[in-house]
Amino acid sequence: MKLTLKDNHRFPALGMGLWKLELDIAAERIYQAIQMGYRHLDAACDYGNEPQVGDGIARALADGLCSRDQLWVTSKLWNTYHAPEHVRPAVERSLSDLKLDYLDLYLIHFPIPLQFVPFEKRYPPGWFFDPHADAPQMKPVSIPLSETWQAMEELVDAGLVKHIGLSNCNIALIREILAIKRIHPSVLQVESHPYLTQEKLLRFCEMHCIAVTAFSPIGAISYLPLGMAKESDSVLAEPIIQKIAGQLGKSEAQVVLRWGMQRGTAVIPKASQIAHLKENFEAQDFELSAEQMAQISALNRNQRFNDPGVFCEQAFNTFFPIFE
């Protein structure tokens, strides 16, 4: 399955999310994923594993598993690099780590501009301005998103990036970018799963020819080890998900991923185990009925697990809400 962008380029609806992919297995898992048929990799500076991801990509390309133009690689501009003069050095660092000449997609990771931290001081810089301070905090700065976007457009002009987009942005911020853009935002990446269906946001993006990628497409499972969700928050335990999985002879995770793709979003589940990589990949091999799709969508309860208005205060001693 593929999604079509405004410029008619297409990219795979199923990708491999690389958040929390462990350093010691990252290169091998990337190689194995590409060998399995994955052609969409979702990386970011902040994940701290781009050099290892780059090793896996380089080996896969050298072994002829696919050509570079068959692979869709996304990375993201971190919060400390929002000032226009830092945008190009940031993407060049990601390209160097990933061992690539260009990115297929580069996203503004969060609409949260933070004080610049030089590469030589700390990379990835993380959320704290000074993690060794007595009371470490984030250090927000005032940089309009429009200025960052214009610097992102220059990356396309320079041939470093094929497409640019946004992540973790609401409709008001997207409107701001649409009002000043020279290059159209190709993709919006946001949290979305059956507990957070984001219907209005998806409809708005469709109206404006912006493709949507859903991160955390299975919901709470990514957040349990971080204490950001409880076992009872798992959509996989929902009776209707389990019933549909039983009817189709599929796993609950496959049903939820298929729902995400079938509603028109790309999904980027993370998997460390080969069995889970294979299971996720096979979510492309069946269809849900209209009734099953509606039953899953009806689970929505507007529950957000990745909310800076919560985790920034809990983990980084700074209240910084971006969603109402």
Active site residues: 47
pLDDT at 93: 98
Structure tokens at 46: 């902040």
pLDDT at 191: 97
Average pLDDT, the chain: 96
Pairing type for strands 10-12 and 2-4 reads antiparallel
For residue 46, what are the CA distances in angstroms to 79, 90, 125, 164? Answer: 9, 11, 7, 18
- Per-residue pLDDT in tens (0 to 9) along the chain, 324 residues: 899 999 999 999 999 999 999 999 999 999 999 999 999 999 999 999 999 999 999 999 999 999 999 999 999 999 999 999 999 999 999 999 999 999 999 999 999 999 999 999 999 999 999 999 999 999 999 999 999 999 999 999 999 999 999 999 999 999 999 999 999 999 999 999 999 999 999 999 999 999 999 999 998 777 887 777 787 889 999 999 999 999 999 999 999 999 999 999 999 999 889 999 999 999 999 999 999 999 999 999 999 999 999 999 999 999 999 998
Q: What is the pLDDT of residues 215-256, one digit of tens each?
A: 999 987 778 877 777 878 899 999 999 999 999 999 999 999
3-state secondary structure of 49: coil
Angle, vertex CA 276, rays to CA 271 and CA 279, nearest 5:
130
Predicted TM-score (pTM) above 0.85: yes
Q: How many Cβ atoms sit within 10 Å of the Cβ of residue 227?
A: 10
Q: What is the pLDDT of residues 91-102, one digit of tens each?
A: 999 999 999 999
User: What CA–CA distance (Å, rounded) separates 116 from 9?
Assistant: 34
Structure tokens at 212: 């949507």
User: What CA–CA distance (Å, rounded) separates 73 from 101?
Assistant: 11
Q: How many Cβ atoms sit within 10 Å of the Cβ of residue 309?
A: 13
H-type alpha helices, 37-114: 50-62, 84-98
